[in-house]
Structure 1
């Protein structure tokens, strides 16, 4: 196995072989950080420095954890058992289950998903007579998560972190929420880290147990850690101090969800004597792309500093192109046309991406891509386990596994409709409170003792008997058969089969997929914990589609060709971010631009428009200051709306002088035969600027915009 170090460059090898003491690996985009992490792990095992269960390896996504396991398997030639490798939340859940009693829980505690959190908070707010229309529950949920990300339990929140939500009642609601979670034997995602950090701080035995256990700690994407994650790592690392953090301060772009770039910037202060290793050889992008990205990010002051250079032998490439267009509609036409040209030239669409700063920008591109018939996907859509039908089925499963799970009971008791209304649920809640028992148990008592009458009593008795039968099915035949049976016998499948909406067939397919997913797990509790920890959205493999996503969603991905539209002041850098965070936010916006450019392997095309549509009509736009920060010798300029001159001081008092808009080369003349995606073929009978009156062969006369038709004279 001595050849496992072969192929590493000197900096990568240094990062692998420097095993003792604190190490910070500054890994630029495309410099092979995953290979370094995996090889370092293998090196620790193969040199007998540690057993697999003595290495704590932390990733940010389940996908990254899976990839590392697979690479380790290939590198070592065999699967490795007993690993402590996973996300922050998965690892803390594992720790917390071992010492659950010390935080007032039992080891079979439930992990609430976002939907259940929201419903529980809403109940607490209503019980406190808070107007949830004026003070939305999701705003409180955001505030509580922010406190948890910073490591604050109720009663620990400093004055400068207090909230005026609900006239200053947020902290009291936070305490009521935590008390309610404990009574349900449940935690939310934030609690997994918060409770574990608090336990490590207050219980010397637990801290000592894990400090002795983990001889080495490996951390991926360290620049994305929040404060509570930082506290957890620091506490665990104080034992052996063999912590290796891999990250890139130039790619810290998630402050809006709690990430603290200061964590990586102060690593050397936190761990005196730490060794800093810079990975700067990029194996992804061409020299012009790397030069543009490096020149841009060098304008940031809050960074540790590194300069990417090509690691490829074929690093020569075309310049980064900056295209100035007249308006956002021309921008969409330009990008879609270039994507179509690549497609016709046999380039894979899956290697083409449009990366936008804000979600609303996708509309124009979607419409144009549909006109041209170019298949595409919006990356970052609704995740599988967040879909309505999946949440409903999971609620049934949670109640099957844990009859005391009140939130699941409330979700499914009248789903499908069983005639269990608000009055009946009020009776159940009152009985549950009076007897201090779960809603399911209260319903059992009310049914048995005549608390309900007539049809309602028989309905609820039937539901309770069904659950008893499904639990027997679960014990005898396993979770897959139990799920199939309950979906059928509950009437839930029949409800969607009877639904005539266009979404219903897809919902039924999703339920089938849920059954298939459950088949990969031996027990129902294992599956439910997996669901709680899963965060990724799995795309269909082998599907050749252009990808469209926000810059935030693009981190970690790479494409042959990347289009970067909308580089204008106010849009990118984003004006709201600048208003809220000043220069700190400007530097994060610049890091976002750096991330966008470094997604490109061969072609990066940046575009900006001279004007954009707003609610009030068309507005002139100023090219982004980031364009002035790109190296001129690595750029090629094109487009119909070049500024005169193009490069100018960003903060000048005047606006760019725009060339007169030229006539559209693709203008469609009177009498032309055209094709429309919806209306089919037709002939142009009148032209008014970009509006066409067309006599369609099958749809009659219609007025449409010229961008929605293609000329078909032949």
Structure 2
């Protein structure tokens, strides 16, 4: 379905030259407008895709942009390699820039990017080292905080310093002791990152800015020449370093379009500053920056729009957005419905429990049952929004509804450790390691009992109760045998050939656990399988962080203590979310419980807003004020004492504006001893009190829209997805679809080492430095690659094997004979946009002259026999055909041949050469279409087990039992 842009949207689409600020209200077609603007640039103005950068702030929003841009370009018969365009989150674009220009950074190859959990656990593991630099009580104000709280607090402050571009040396020279300590901790952290070749999401941006500003000629100038059009969505969520990166990339044409809504600025706690969008026009000469607004809301009922307009404009509660000298801290706007849109008689109501009866749960249940009987086709048409879904009352409501047969989807409620499948797994692990009882006793004598042990006792009792059942006798016998084997290892002093994660996969063969792996219809139904996949990821991560390959008698006690008293305790203490389908926020058959932040950018036919007990709260400390006053690049924009009020308004405005057909305010009312309402708080009362209860409203005329199904295009790699599925659909189901982490996914260190060093050779040539390709430099590149690869993967090659790998690279270079004139591109990301999906890949080498090129894929092995290993060669040939097809379609180049280059071939011709045949290519693409269709239809049955894959597969015990 295509839509014609409105006059407001058309103005934004057509305004392509010069700086542009777009204030886009809720439901105003912001994403549609951005997509059409990209299509207009590419199709109507002939702008090459590689000259466009489009950034947003969530993976989901980025995926939606890629999908919709792909659809629209395909509808205009434009073939585009979407990977050429810089489309993604700000972090992903920064990461891409670092990877493309890594040789100009402090980063080494194979650096590790830490996610939020990895970073916090990094601090936890090294807390003693930070404490030695300066006492953490300077930051926390008290010593009784747990190590976990200290680690998280320190992590937050360090990220703030990175985002505000504050240097540690400046802090260390301050007179304030706490500020000095921050500088010391930050300096230590940056040093540890460099030593360990690590990045976090905040440092990604810091390193990107450093890359651009330190390499004006070699990096920044070419990028400025290439990136002619910048578009940034959700600009109100940008922070200091992000804005500086964007303005650094901006060339003399100054074609930058920023889109956002200051009224929906929610991420101050992550460093975002509302000033970036409000002060954007002032970054340019007077009159240079155009300002346009999208103010027509096509989403919400007109009366809902009127309600949240009043919430923001102060007409009902005398709230003011102005400061001294008439400065406004809000862009003036009034959101309006489209002309002629029908309004339901009363689309804003309350569903609350009375202060006298404390019957909130019962009222909500009665309302939902009425809605389902008269207005709803599916529970997913309803969403509850809370300030936090971890709030006890939100979790209690969810539990009550589920007990009364209303399914609730609340992946961020921190209920992971409450799920039966997770508790059974923890119970099984505790049973397998009876040594933990001794560890507990020693810990208690030395310190004090841990609160998490109560959870462990519950898990162990649950598992033991199941073991007593007759149907679980085989599992009981297996567990007793394994527990004795592990305990006996301490007597024999011989390590076993498995670790914690391998035990997990062994457990899957038994019905007590395999019952949770039955594929169901929706992402909510798959929750048990997804939660078990998360458990596998956690065990693999634990083994990696603690350098565990197998269970060893010398380290068993420490490993078990680290797993239960540290790692799992940290997760339970800090909270861990269940699986959340990024493409499906409202799965069929369930009511969604989510945070207001989580709901940003989404819409729901019936939106129930809770957390009416809330009040504005101060979010900054005295240390924040010191840093703001002395070290931030700009003086405060909003008065510090008013920030909490502004942010409170913005938060609930975002919540109210999610509603399409019906907006519900809901709470358990409470009164003071004098009979005045205490809940809702005074901040909501001017808006809440006039609203009618749902029982007093005639809802018969209400029409509730269906929830729009997700339409994201899936991205599939030929090697990582298609070939895995063809090899074994069951492996694909577990390791790609459910995302279990395999134990035996050993890095192909030898092949990676050869590939990466040959890539260094090619990159040197492409930089115009073929003279740098000397034996000494190749040795240097090779040794650095090996050091970083082996450090990251913790796998090592014997010296003689390393020399064999080095010989592969030298032999390739010698065969080239110094003639590098045909090198066109190396490690080229490619994608093929299809009607229903995007096929991706990476080409090792494109070589050729003029308009004729060849595709080369390197294999770090001797050349295989073309008859004995015909199947393998055919598989590689199909891969090359896909890549060659894309090169022809996108770049207009003629592919004359496709080559498999075997670096291990010593004397003969090192290549297999295939001609480019259109008929064969079309057949390959058609075959991939069929495979992707099977994957998307979740056809995971195995017709015949592949013996070679089964031999070393983690799923072998499970498949043996299941007979698949």
Name the TM-score, length of structure 1 as normaliser: 0.66
SS of 2:359's equivalent in the other structure is helix
2:93 matched residue in structure 1: 91
Tell me which of 607, 610, 614 is aligned to 1:572.
Answer: 614
Tell me which of 303, 306, 311 is aligned to 1:288.
Answer: 303
Matches within 5 A, 1:364-513: 364-381=396-413, 459=495, 490-494=502-506, 509-510=529-530
Tell me which of 151, 155, 176 is aligned to 1:137.
Answer: 151
Q: Report whether the alignment pairs 1:351 with 2:408.
A: no
C-alpha separation in 2, matches of 1:598 and 1:114: 29
The answer on whether the counterparts of 1:21 and 1:274 sit within 8 Å (CA) in structure 2 is: yes
2:202 matched residue in structure 1: 190
Post-superposition shift, 1:595? 1.2
**Structure 2, gaps ≥5 residues long:** 137-143, 315-319, 322-328, 423-431, 440-488, 518-525, 538-578, 623-639, 697-964
1:670 matched residue in structure 2: none
2:591 matched residue in structure 1: 546
Change in CA separation of 1:535 and 1:341 when aligned onto 2, cut-off 3 Å: closer
State the Cα deviation string for residues 331-352 of structure 1 (Å, max 9, x = none): 3322221111111225021111
**Structure 1, gaps ≥5 residues long:** 391-415, 423-452, 464-485, 518-533, 642-714
State the Cα deviation string for residues 102-153 of structure 1 (Å, max 9, x = none): 2222232111223332333234332355478756222111111111121234
Q: Report whether the alignment pairs 1:276 with 2:291.
A: yes
Post-superposition shift, 1:604? 1.1
SS of 2:384's equivalent in the other structure is strand
Post-superposition shift, 1:368? 3.2
- Shifted more, 181-190 versus 89-98: the winner is 181-190
1:235 matched residue in structure 2: 248
- Shifted more, 301-310 versus 28-37: the winner is 301-310
C-alpha separation in 2, matches of 1:249 and 1:495: 51
Q: Report whether the alignment pairs 1:611 with 2:670.
A: yes
1:621 matched residue in structure 2: 678
SS of 2:98's equivalent in the other structure is helix
C-alpha separation in 1, matches of 2:15 and 2:96: 29
Structure showing the higher strand proportion among its residues = 1
Change in CA separation of 1:129 and 1:309 when aligned onto 2, cut-off 3 Å: closer
C-alpha separation in 2, matches of 1:72 and 1:170: 44
C-alpha separation in 2, matches of 1:153 and 1:10: 47
2:874 matched residue in structure 1: none
Tell me which of 557, 582, 585 is aligned to 2:602.
Answer: 557
Name the TM-score, length of structure 2 as normaliser: 0.50
Change in CA separation of 1:50 and 1:417 when aligned onto 2, cut-off 3 Å: farther
Tell me which of 254, 279, 291 is aligned to 2:267.
Answer: 254
Matches within 5 A, 1:171-186: 171-186=183-198
C-alpha separation in 1, matches of 2:342 and 2:172: 52
Post-superposition shift, 1:382? 6.2
SS of 1:164's equivalent in the other structure is helix
2:226 matched residue in structure 1: 213
State the Cα deviation string for residues 46-92 of structure 1 (Å, max 9, x = none): 12342111101101112112211221222122552112101111111
1:437 matched residue in structure 2: none
Root-mean-square deviation over aligned CA pairs: 4.4
The answer on whether the counterparts of 1:212 and 1:239 sit within 8 Å (CA) in structure 2 is: no
How many residues are treated as equivalent by the alignment? 534
Matches within 5 A, 1:24-63: 24-63=21-60
Change in CA separation of 1:158 and 1:339 when aligned onto 2, cut-off 3 Å: farther
C-alpha separation in 2, matches of 1:619 and 1:631: 14
The answer on whether the counterparts of 1:285 and 1:315 sit within 8 Å (CA) in structure 2 is: no
1:7 matched residue in structure 2: 4
Matches within 5 A, 1:144-183: 144-157=158-171, 164=178, 168-183=180-195
2:645 matched residue in structure 1: 586
SS of 2:168's equivalent in the other structure is coil
C-alpha separation in 2, matches of 1:540 and 1:610: 29
Post-superposition shift, 1:212? 1.4
Change in CA separation of 1:457 and 1:102 when aligned onto 2, cut-off 3 Å: farther
Change in CA separation of 1:619 and 1:282 when aligned onto 2, cut-off 3 Å: closer
1:326 matched residue in structure 2: 354
C-alpha separation in 2, matches of 1:76 and 1:173: 49
Change in CA separation of 1:333 and 1:612 when aligned onto 2, cut-off 3 Å: farther
SS of 1:194's equivalent in the other structure is helix
The answer on whether the counterparts of 2:385 and 2:610 sit within 8 Å (CA) in structure 1 is: yes
Change in CA separation of 1:116 and 1:555 when aligned onto 2, cut-off 3 Å: closer
State the Cα deviation string for residues 142-174 of structure 1 (Å, max 9, x = none): 111111121234325498998838xx5332222
1:113 matched residue in structure 2: 115
Post-superposition shift, 1:355? 1.6
C-alpha separation in 2, matches of 1:251 and 1:455: 63
Change in CA separation of 1:607 and 1:383 when aligned onto 2, cut-off 3 Å: closer
The answer on whether the counterparts of 1:336 and 1:365 sit within 8 Å (CA) in structure 2 is: no
- Shifted more, 78-87 versus 30-39: the winner is 78-87
